[in-house]
Structure formats: structure tokens, C-alpha cells
Structure 1
Amino acid sequence: MISPDFLREMQRGEEAAVAALLTDAFGQPDEAHLVEKLRKSRAIAGEMVLPSEQGIVGYLALSQMIAPKGWLCLAPVAVHPDLQRNGYGRRMVGMIVEWARLSGQTLVVLGDPAFYSRCGFSPAPEGLTSPYPVEYTMVAGAAKAKLMDLKYPAAFG
């Protein structure tokens, strides 16, 4: 397999390739269905892909949080199974974290703290409440609020 190209915005017409990648990467279609729901509800703030000569081999989505206003949720993040454990996911997430830092944006992610801390995320600040386990909730960027109640888009159900 030839190395992927640069991370770029997803283009119209790539939805099916992204759904296939998500299904392959996670071994089931739940994340593909989540992305479909986020698109339909217009909660997606941005979608990025990692293209290669073989097609789309990496993907990440940013969605608007309901609360705190202005925060973005990073989910899902996927790399084709043949390319996992080669640093592509870490670099993709690291680029988004650096964008958040430079633009004054706050990101929240729910996932493996060991992985996301290597990408620039920090543990959730004290006082944060979430419908999901706080020990797996991490933030990056310009988080300033001390007490906050995370509310995700309805598609996360």
C-alpha cells in the first residue's frame, strides 16, 4: 500500500467511501450510522479525510456541542485497519488539536486517555460533568470554564 496523502476536507461524493472505512475500522457500522445522523441533523462542523491511491484511509469529524456553546466534539476518528499503528491517527488528531490551539477553539473527545494524551488532549477539568464516563473525556484547545455540563448532539444518543 502506498503512503497516504495529506489530510484534507472531505468532498461531496465521498460519503460512501467514508462509511466503508468507518465500518472496516470499527468492525461494525455504528460509527458510520452516527456520522450519517450527525450530517442529517446538521451537527457536523467539519469532516476531514486522509486520501491515498487506494481511496480514503483516514477520517475524522468535528461536531457542534450543544453545551458548552462553541465547543466541538471530535468523533469518530478512524484509520484503515491495514494502516493502524503507523502513527496516522496520532498525526491526524494532533493536527486538529494544533488547529484548535491556534484558533482559540475548544475540543472534547471521549476515548482512550493514553492515545489522546499523546495527541495533545488533557484530562477533563475538575467540575466537568458528562453523560459519558469523565475518566475517558479529554479536552484540547482553549477550555477555560471550570464548571461545565457537556451536552452532545442528539445523534450521540
Structure 2
Amino acid sequence: MLKSPDFMREMKRGEEDAVSQLLTSAFGQKDEAQLVDVLRKSRAIAGEMVLPMAGEVIGYAALSKMTAPKGWLCLAPVAIRPDLQSRGYGRRLVGMITQWAELSGQTLVVLGDPAFYSRCGFTPIAEGFTSPYPLDHTLTAGPAKAKSKELTYPKAFG
């Protein structure tokens, strides 16, 4: 019988340790797990999604509230268990989040590999925006309309 992930769903209470272990394993250090802890404590997390498979969390994605532009969300971090990477699970996870943004009119911003995130439905950020991070690795999904052209991430990203 083929094994494949279940549908993406919201993270459940009690899965925090599994997510922390996944992030540490996927990134090879604890920085992203610590980032998520700080985002949770500061109430900057707007949503946490997991990709379960055979009773384990094999994928994770967090959406955080941007300080500016108001109403925008930041997608970070995103992780797939290392032994299951390069099978399309990350693309499917991020693609579902991108579709949600498009359908709901929600703007998402992500800082990452443009080749990967473009395949998931993100587009390079429009000209005129400023950011503390490289704009050539900054992409958006959803309407991307804003009065403020300054990207300000939650303090936890500092």
C-alpha cells in the first residue's frame, strides 16, 4: 500500500513538540523552532498548518501577522521532514495556502527561493516596496495591494 500524506489541517494543541522537532530536523538547528515559539508567545501567529502522515507531523507552515502593511500575512517557516523532501509535499502544502490566499483575497508575503515559491503560485513583489530583507527573494500571493509600501515583519523575525 502506498503511503502519502493526509490533507493539510490546522495544528492541534499538543503538537507543538512534534512541530519543534520537525523544524529542528528540517533546518538542522533550532532557530526556526525558537522563532515559532516567540511568534506564539507574542500572539503574532495567525495560523499554523500541519501535513500529517501515518499519525506523524511531516510538514508545517506558519502564517504570521505583518506589522505593515496592515492585514498582510507572512508565510514562515515552512518545513517538510528531511527524508520526505523532494516528493512534492512542500509544493502541495504551499500551493494550498496560496490558493486560499487567492480565493479569500488575503495577501501573503514570503521570503525564500523564488524558483520554488513561483511554482507554488507566488509572484515577485511589485516595485516600490521596501524591506529589511532582500527584495529579489520576496514574493507575494493574493491581491498585494497596500497603502504602505514598507514591509515590516513581526518583531520575532528581528
Q: Normalising by the residue count of structure 2, what TM-score does the alignment of the two structures yield? A: 0.96
Q: Which runs of 4+ in 1 moved over 3 A?
A: none
Q: How many residues align?
A: 157
Q: Which amino acid aligns with 2:68?
A: A
1:70-110 CA-partner distances (Å, limit 9, x unpaired) = 00000000000011000000010010010000000000000
Q: How far apart in 2 are the matches of 1:54 and 1:13?
A: 13
Secondary structure at the residue paired with 2:5? coil
Match of 1:114 in 2: 115
Q: Which runs of 5+ in 1 are unaligned?
A: none
Q: Structure 1 146/113 Cα, relative in aligned 2: closer, same or farther at 3 Å?
A: farther
Match of 1:55 in 2: 56
Q: How far apart in 2 are the matches of 1:35 and 1:13?
A: 15
Q: Structure 1 8/77 Cα, relative in aligned 2: closer, same or farther at 3 Å?
A: same
Q: Which amino acid aligns with 2:73?
A: L
Contact 1:126 1:147 (C-alpha < 8 Å) held by counterparts: no
Match of 2:38 in 1: 37
Secondary structure at the residue paired with 1:99? helix
Q: Structure 1 118/141 Cα, relative in aligned 2: closer, same or farther at 3 Å?
A: same
Secondary structure at the residue paired with 2:108? strand
Match of 1:25 in 2: 26
Contact 1:127 1:146 (C-alpha < 8 Å) held by counterparts: no
Q: Which runs of 5+ in 2 are unaligned?
A: none
Secondary structure at the residue paired with 1:129? coil
For the aligned residue pairs, the C-alpha RMSD in angstroms reads 1.2
Counterparts of 1:1-157 in structure 2, within 5 Å, are 2-53=3-54, 55-145=56-146, 148-157=149-158
By how many angstroms is 1:4 displaced? Answer: 1.4
Q: Which amino acid aligns with 1:61?
A: A
1:22-42 CA-partner distances (Å, limit 9, x unpaired) = 001111111000000000000
Q: How far apart in 2 are the matches of 1:45 and 1:144?
A: 19
By how many angstroms is 1:2 displaced? Answer: 2.8
Overall identity of the aligned pairs, in % = 72
By how many angstroms is 1:146 displaced? Answer: 7.4
1:17-59 CA-partner distances (Å, limit 9, x unpaired) = 0000000111111100000000000000000001111510000
Q: Normalising by the residue count of structure 1, what TM-score does the alignment of the two structures yield? A: 0.97
By how many angstroms is 1:119 displaced? Answer: 0.4
Contact 1:106 1:140 (C-alpha < 8 Å) held by counterparts: yes
